C-alpha cells in the first residue's frame, strides 16, 4: 500500500485513516448568524467525498468581535450548536477525522469590520500600499489575555459537543498566537514577552487548558510557522525550540506552514530553497523540526502532485496537508488512491506587487470555494483582476452585514 493511504495512529490513540489532510482555508461562507450554513456544509461534503483522511475546517473564531475576515464562522456559545453538529457529521461522513481550527486574528483585523484590533503590542500590520486596510491595534492587558485563553477553551469544548473529533489551535500565518511568538510584533516586557519562553506562554497555556477540559480521545493539534520569513522575526531556530516546548504537552499533531499577511509565504511568495520548493514550500524546515518532535508532524504548502506527496512522506514528516489543490480538485485523494497520477496546475498571478498578487490568488481560490458551496464545478481560468475586484465588492457587502449583526448582539 502507498504510504499516502496508510493509517496514522496519534498519541491519544485516535487513528487518521490516511496521510492526506484537507488543510484549513478561510472560506468566508458563514450564514447570516455566522454559523455553518448550507453552502459551507455542501462544500465540506464535497471534501469528505474526495477521500482526505483528515478534514480541518477554516478559521472558527473564538470571539464574535474578532474575525479574520467577513462572513467568518464564530463559535462562542451553544446557540447554533445544531448547525455545527451538522457540519461535523458531514465532515466525518466518509470516515475522516474532523478537526475545527480555532483562531483569533489579533492585529490582522480588517478595519472595515468596525471592531477594535488587539495584539500583544500596539504594532500595526505593515504592508506597503495596503496598511490602511487593517485596524490600528492596542496591546492586550494581562486580564484580557487570561480571558482569551478561556475563550479558546470554551470553543474547543463546544466543538467536542458538536461532534468534531479534535481542534487545531492556530499559531501560524501572523494571527494572534503567531504575533505573540514573533519579536517583531511582541514587544512586551511582562511574562508574555521578551524571551521565547515568555512569547510562547499564551500558546502553551492555551494548549494545556484545552487539553484539561476535553476528553482524552479528543485530538488537540497546533498549527505553527516554520518561520515567518521576516528579518528579526520568528525563525526556524525558534520553531525548533517551540517544538521542544510542545513535546512536554499532550499534543496529538503539529502542522507546519509559514508566512503571514506581511510575508505571504503560504501563497508561495517565499520558499525555503529546497529541491522541492516549487511544490512543497516548507519541507526542509518540516523535516528538521519533525526530527525533534514526539508527536506526528504535518507539512502544508504547495503540494499538488502525487509524486511530490509521496516524496514528502519518505522522511520524518507523517502527514501532508493540501489546501489550494483541494479547492481546485476536491477529488484528488480519491483519484490518487485509485491509481491516477492526477495533479492540479498552480494559480500564477505574476504581478510586480506581491501583496496584491497574493490577494488576487486568494480571491481566485475563494471563488472556487464559493462555486463548490453552490454545488458547481471549479473554474480556474478567470481574470485575477476581475476575481480581486469581485472579492473586494463581496467583502464590503459582507463587512456591512457583519457590522449590523455584531452591533445587534452587542
Q: What is the pLDDT averaged over residues 192-200?
A: 98
Q: Is 114 left (phi over 0), alpha (psi -120 to 50) or beta?
A: left
pLDDT for res 351: 93
Residue, of 281 and 13, whose pLDDT is higher: 13
**CATH superfamily name and code, 3-409:** Aldolase class I (3.20.20.70)
pLDDT for res 201: 98
State pLDDT tens for residues 327-386.
Answer: 999 999 999 999 998 889 989 899 988 878 888 999 999 999 999 999 999 998 899 999
pLDDT for res 128: 76
pLDDT at 390 over 60: yes
pLDDT grade, residue 269 (50/70/90)? very low
Q: What residues does 343 pair with on adjacent strands? A: 305
Count Cβ atoms within 10 A of the Cβ of residue 155 and give its class: 0-12 exposed, 13-18 middle, 19 or more buried.
buried
Q: What is the pLDDT averaged over residues 391-405?
A: 96
Question: How far, in whole angstroms, is CA 150 from its chain's centroid?
Answer: 20
pLDDT at 277 over 60: no
Q: pTM for the complete prediction?
A: 0.94
Residue, of 237 and 17, whose pLDDT is higher: 17
Helix (H) or strand (E) holding 117: strand 117-119
Question: How far, in whole angstroms, is CA 180 from its chain's centroid?
Answer: 17
pLDDT at 214 over 60: yes
Q: What residues does 16 pair with on adjacent strands? A: 8
Q: Where are the beta strands (DSSP E) in 239-328?
A: 253-257, 297-300, 319-322
pLDDT for res 276: 45
Domain limits of the chain?
Answer: 3-409
* Phi, psi dihedral angles at 19 (to 5 degrees): -95, 15
The mean pLDDT value of the chain amounts to 92
Smallest CA-to-CA distance from 303 within 287, 285, 319 is with 319
Smallest CA-to-CA distance from 260 within 270, 249, 274, 252 is with 270
- CB proximity list for 37: less than 8 A, separation 6 or greater: 29, 30, 31, 83
pLDDT for res 252: 98
Of 154-158, 257-261, 363-367, 395-399, minimum mean pLDDT range: 257-261
The answer to whether 238 and 256 have CB atoms below 8 angstroms apart is no
- DSSP per-residue codes, 25-48: -------TTSS--HHHHHHHHHHH
The answer to whether 308 and 279 have CB atoms below 8 angstroms apart is yes
pLDDT at 179 over 70: yes
pLDDT at 286 over 90: no
pLDDT for res 183: 94
State pLDDT tens for residues 79-100.
Answer: 999 999 999 999 999 999 999 9
Residue 164 Cα distances to 80, 300, 345, 354, angstroms: 15, 21, 32, 37
Amino acid at each position: 500500500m502507498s504510504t499516502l493511504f496508510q493509517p496514522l495512529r496519534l498519541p491519544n490513540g485516535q487513528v487518521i485513516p490516511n496521510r492526506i489532510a484537507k488543510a484549513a482555508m478561510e472560506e468566508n461562507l458563514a450564514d447570516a448568524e455566522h454559523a455553518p450554513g448550507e453552502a459551507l456544509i455542501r462544500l465540506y461534503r464535497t471534501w469528505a467525498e474526495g477521500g482526505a483522511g483528515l478534514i480541518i475546517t477554516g478559521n472558527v473564531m473564538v470571539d464574535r468581535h474578532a474575525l479574520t475576515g467577513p462572513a467568518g464562522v464564530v463559535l462562542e456559545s451553544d446557540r447554533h450548536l445544531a448547525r455545527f453538529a451538522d457540519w461535523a457529521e458531514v465532515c466525518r461522513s466518509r470516515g475522516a477525522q474532523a478537526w475545527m481550527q480555532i483562531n483569533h486574528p489579533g492585529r490582522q483585523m480588517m478595519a472595515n469590520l468596525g471592531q477594535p484590533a488587539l495584539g500583544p503590542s500596539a504594532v500595526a500590520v505593515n504592508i506597503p500600499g495596503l496598511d490602511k486596510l487593517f485596524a490600528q491595534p492596542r496591546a492586550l492587558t494581562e486580564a484580557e489575555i487570561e480571558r482569551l485563553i478561556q475563550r479558546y477553551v470554551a470553543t474547543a469544548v463546544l466543538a467536542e459537543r458538536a461532534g468534531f473529533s479534535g481542534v487545531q489551535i492556530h499559531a501560524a500565518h501572523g494571527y494572534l498566537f503567531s504575533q505573540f511568538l514573533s519579536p517583531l510584533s511582541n514587544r512586551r516586557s511582562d511574562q508574555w514577552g521578551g524571551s521565547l519562553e515568555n512569547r510562547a506562554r499564551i500558546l502553551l497555556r492555551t494548549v494545556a487548558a484545552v487539553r484539561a477540559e476535553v476528553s482524552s480521545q479528543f485530538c488537540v493539534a497546533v498549527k505553527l510557522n516554520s518561520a515567518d520569513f521576516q528579518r528579526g522575526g520568528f525563525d526556524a531556530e525558534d520553531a525548533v525550540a517551540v517544538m521542544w516546548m510542545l513535546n512536554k504537552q499532550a499534543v496529538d499533531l503539529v502542522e507546519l506552514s509559514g508566512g503571514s499577511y506581511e510575508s505571504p509565504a503560504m501563497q508561495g511568495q517565499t520558499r525555503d530553497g529546497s529541491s522541492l520548493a516549487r511544490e512543497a514550500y516548507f519541507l526542509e524546515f518540516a523535516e528538521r523540526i519533525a526530527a525533534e518532535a514526539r508527536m506526528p508532524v504535518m507539512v502544508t504548502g504547495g503540494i499538488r502532485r502525487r509524486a511530490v506527496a509521496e516524496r514528502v512522506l519518505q522522511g520524518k514528516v507523517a502527514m501532508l496537508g493540501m489546501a489550494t489543490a483541494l479547492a481546485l480538485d476536491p477529488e484528488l485523494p480519491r483519484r490518487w488512491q485509485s491509481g491516477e497520477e492526477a495533479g492540479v496546475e498552480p494559480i500564477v498571478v505574476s504581478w510586480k506587487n506581491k501583496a496584491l498578487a497574493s490577494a488576487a490568488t486568494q480571491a481566485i481560490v475563494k471563488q472556487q470555494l464559493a462555486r463548490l458551496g453552490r454545488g458547481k464545478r471549479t473554474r480556474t481560468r478567470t481574470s485575477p483582476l476581475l476575481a480581486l475586484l469581485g472579492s473586494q465588492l463581496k467583502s464590503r457587502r459582507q463587512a456591512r452585514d457583519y457590522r449590523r449583526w455584531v452591533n445587534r448582539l452587542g
